[in-house]
Amino acid sequence: MIFAKKERLLRISKNRVLGVCIYVQEQHVSWLTDVLLQEILQAIKPKLHDKIIECKQETRTASPIVKDEDTQINEDDSQFSYSALYATLNALILVPEPFDPNNTVALPEMLNINIE
């Protein structure tokens, strides 16, 4: 079975993001929109809450995505700034599939996970 992988960053605090890896079967890629992803995240939010708190308290982080605070001035004299942004060492893995009570969900082999 062939899966497509999409990656997103979920901001969990001012300067931390949680990587989200989404594996979806190629025939289902078209229906996985950003709106549907938001609905999926809302559905798992209660279970995700404790893990996010744990990630926020993590002292070790991966390399920064944005290193230092910086202020940029555009040609039209408008300004914006950004601060250091770090990815957590954890990642959220989602395998959304259409629900079918008669079939088990197939998982990407690379995850090495068994369904019980």
pLDDT, one tens digit per residue, over 6-52 is: 888 888 887 788 888 888 888 888 888 888 888 888 888 888 887 77
Using the structure block, give the residue that is written with the tokens 């060492």.
Answer: 89
Mean pLDDT throughout 87-116? 71
Is residue 22 a contact partner of residue 31, using CB atoms and an 8 Å limit?
Answer: no
Per-residue pLDDT band at 78 (split at 50, 70, 90): low
Question: At 68, is the pLDDT very low, low, confident or very high (cuts 50, 70, 90)?
Answer: low
- Residue 34: Cβ within 10 Å count: 8
Residues 47-83: b if buried by 16+ CB within 10 A, e if exposed: ebeeebeebeeeeeeeeeeeeeeeeeeeeeeeeeeee
Beta strands in 60-116 (DSSP E): 64-66, 70-73, 79-82, 85-94
Alpha-carbon distance values, 11 to 75, 93, 99 (Å): 29, 15, 28
C-alpha span between 114 and 96 (Å, rounded): 16
The pLDDT of residue 106 is 66
Q: Which spans in the chain are helix H? A: 34-57
